[in-house]
């Protein structure tokens, strides 16, 4: 009797400790593992990782089973124990585990090796190492003479010769960066008419160290020219008001796309969550400006009082892939989700992409961010990744060396160490394929003017390229 009482008290105390801050792993262990197994393998209740959902396999159906239970089968309803947030987070958690289990059993995606041919669905390629000796390279751009410009996170902008030789001397006089957390020198992009005007654009974490020795930083955009290894003629294209600079170390963005006299670029969320829903703040926005920094008169928020007039779209977390389909000038983006929910989006004027009100992920520590994945007035992603691959770098392949890849999108993944090929058809993702994996963290993806697909990898820090197999 006493033992029973202690056991009962134990259960009650354990239950009482479940708060909104309780990690999903702990909730699972407390409430679910006894019947579904510590490793989701099943027991009195079925396996939750075998991909078989007897009671419906959509997110909504799984959430419903957990909410209402299947009392006639011995599955209790959880609606009075777990919040809607926690039930949604449980679905994300179950999906994460289901996908990981599935990946374990499947044929692994190709890991290319120099000297060998890698076959994919539509094209076969060889991988070549172009450049080594870089330190945390971030972004890659091509000049008309075949040279490449490469940013390194700590600040240097490096020049790489057409044959891949790294110039030992970085450019002098490039802007100082606040290297706090994920910040640093970010995107480099020559103007489409570079041959005529010589402009090169740089985005970076701009800021200062206060008296408390804490860095305050935000993404800024400048352009300048390169003369004999010297960065000159610098002009500021975008710099936010100093009051928006923050000491958070996360989510700077940024990428740059040129189109018909306009420039699109990203300011990341900077950890500001709900600030991204506020168009008077720069965080978590994609901007569109004239190439010299002026605000276009037809930008969506020019009439909105106190708005940042450069905003083109909002509700973004941390976009680090931005690319345009040259056929119809539609703009695509990849952005980092939290734990799950990295997104591939079509970016439209004035639209709200929902972070953090809607998301397909949960917080890194296993707690909820939101109970909902969709809401009126908020855009749905074209696709999302769960588990996250940490999307970084995006290119629309417009070369001719891989004709069967023409106009497919190639998205890099840092944590996922992969490049995903995405084919759009009639406004939807029609094909998705991992064309390579496990050669390092993919930081940037570019279509070279020579038609080869170039990648920046981190750890190992390299530029590599894919060339046709024959």
Rule CB under 6 A: which residues touch ligand HEC?
A: 31-32, 34-36, 44-46, 48, 52-55, 62, 65-66, 70, 73-76, 78, 90
Residue 14 CB, nearest distance to ligand HEC (Å)?
13
Report helix, strand or coil for 442. strand
Length of the chain: 470
436 phi/psi in degrees, rounded to 5: -160, 155
Residue closest to 178 by CA, chosen among 249, 267, 265 = 249
Residue 59 CB, nearest distance to ligand HEC (Å)?
11
Name which of 80 and 400 has its Cβ closer to ligand HEC: 80
Mention every residue, 6+ apart, whose C-beta is less than 8 A from residue 92: 24, 339, 340, 341, 360, 361, 362, 386
469 phi/psi in degrees, rounded to 5: -70, -25
Name which of 31 and 314 has its Cβ closer to ligand HEC: 31
Residue 10 CB, nearest distance to ligand HEC (Å)?
16
Residue 94 CB, nearest distance to ligand HEC (Å)?
6
Report helix, strand or coil for 152. strand
Residue 96 CB, nearest distance to ligand HEC (Å)?
13
Name which of 21 and 294 has its Cβ closer to ligand HEC: 21
Name which of 74 and 133 has its Cβ closer to ligand HEC: 74
Name which of 82 and 267 has its Cβ closer to ligand HEC: 82
Residue 312 CB, nearest distance to ligand HEC (Å)?
40
Residue 424 CB, nearest distance to ligand HEC (Å)?
33
By CB neighbour count within 10 A (0-12 exposed, 13-18 middle, 19+ buried), where does 5 fall? Answer: exposed
Do the beta carbons of residue 125 and residue 468 sit within 8 Å? yes
Residue closest to 342 by CA, chosen among 362, 325, 323 = 362
Do the beta carbons of residue 195 and residue 211 sit within 8 Å? no
Do the beta carbons of residue 409 and residue 373 sit within 8 Å? no
Name which of 40 and 265 has its Cβ closer to ligand HEC: 40
Name which of 56 and 326 has its Cβ closer to ligand HEC: 56
State the angle between helix axes of 84-105 and 59-68 in degrees (0 to 180), rounded to the nearest 10.
Answer: 130
Name which of 36 and 255 has its Cβ closer to ligand HEC: 36
By CB neighbour count within 10 A (0-12 exposed, 13-18 middle, 19+ buried), where does 74 fall? Answer: exposed
Do the beta carbons of residue 345 and residue 332 sit within 8 Å? yes
Q: How far apart are CA 367 and CA 385, in angstroms?
A: 18
Mention every residue, 6+ apart, whose C-beta is less than 8 A from residue 236: 220, 221, 222, 293
In the block, tokens 């075998």 appear at 50
Residue 53 CB, nearest distance to ligand HEC (Å)?
4
Residue closest to 206 by CA, chosen among 299, 148, 268, 280 = 268
> Which residue among 36, 191, 251, 336 is the active-site one?
251
Whether residue 251 lies in the annotated active site = yes
355 phi/psi in degrees, rounded to 5: -60, 140
Active-site residues: which are they? 251
């Amino acid at each position: 009797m006493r033992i029973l009482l202690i056991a009962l008290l134990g259960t009650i105390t354990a239950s009482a400790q479940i708060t909104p801050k309780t990690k999903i792993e702990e909730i699972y262990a407390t409430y679910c593992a006894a019947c579904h197994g510590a490793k989701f393998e099943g027991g009195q209740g079925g396996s939750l990782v075998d991909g078989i959902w007897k009671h419906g396999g959509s997110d909504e159906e799984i959430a419903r089973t957990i909410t209402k239970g299947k009392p006639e089968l011995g599955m209790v309803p959880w609606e009075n124990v777990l919040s809607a947030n926690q039930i949604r987070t449980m679905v994300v958690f179950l999906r994460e585990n289901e996908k990981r289990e599935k990946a374990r059993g499947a044929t692994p995606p190709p890991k290319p090796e120099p000297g060998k041919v890698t076959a994919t669905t539509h094209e076969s390629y060889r991988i070549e190492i172009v450049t080594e000796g870089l330190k945390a390279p971030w972004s890659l751009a091509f000049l008309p003479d075949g040279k490449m410009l490469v940013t390194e996170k700590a600040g240097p902008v490096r020049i790489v010769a057409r044959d891949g030789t790294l110039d030992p001397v970085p450019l002098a006089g490039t802007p100082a960066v606040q290297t706090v957390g994920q910040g640093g020198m970010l995107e480099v992009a020559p103007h489409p008419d570079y041959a005529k005007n010589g402009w090169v654009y740089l985005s970076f974490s701009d800021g200062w160290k206060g008296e408390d020795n804490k860095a305050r930083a935000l993404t800024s955009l400048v352009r300048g020219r390169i003369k004999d290894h010297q960065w000159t003629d610098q002009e500021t294209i975008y710099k936010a008001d100093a009051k928006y600079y923050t000491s958070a170390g996360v989510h700077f963005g940024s990428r740059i796309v040129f189109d018909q006299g306009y420039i699109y670029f990203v300011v990341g969320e900077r950890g500001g969550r709900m600030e991204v829903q506020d168009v008077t703040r720069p965080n978590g926005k994609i901007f569109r400006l004239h190439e010299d920094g002026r605000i276009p008169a037809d930008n969506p928020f020019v009439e909105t009082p106190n708005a940042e007039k450069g905003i083109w779209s909002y509700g973004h977390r941390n976009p680090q892939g931005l690319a345009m389909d040259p056929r119809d000038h539609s703009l695509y983006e990849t952005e980092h989700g939290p734990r799950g929910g990295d997104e591939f989006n079509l970016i439209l004027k004035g639209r709200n992409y929902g972070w953090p009100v809607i998301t397909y992920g949960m917080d890194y520590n296993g707690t909820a961010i939101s109970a909902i994945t969709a809401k009126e007035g908020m855009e749905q992603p074209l696709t999302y990744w769960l588990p996250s691959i940490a999307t970084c770098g995006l290119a629309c392949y417009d070369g001719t060396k891989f004709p069967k890849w023409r106009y497919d999108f190639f998205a890099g993944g840092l944590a996922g160490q992969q490049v995903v090929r995405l084919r759009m058809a009639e406004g939807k993702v029609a094909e998705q394929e991992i064309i390579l994996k496990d050669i390092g963290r993919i930081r940037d993806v570019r279509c070279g003017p020579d038609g080869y697909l170039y990648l920046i990898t981190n750890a190992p820090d390299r530029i590599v390229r894919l060339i046709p197999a024959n």
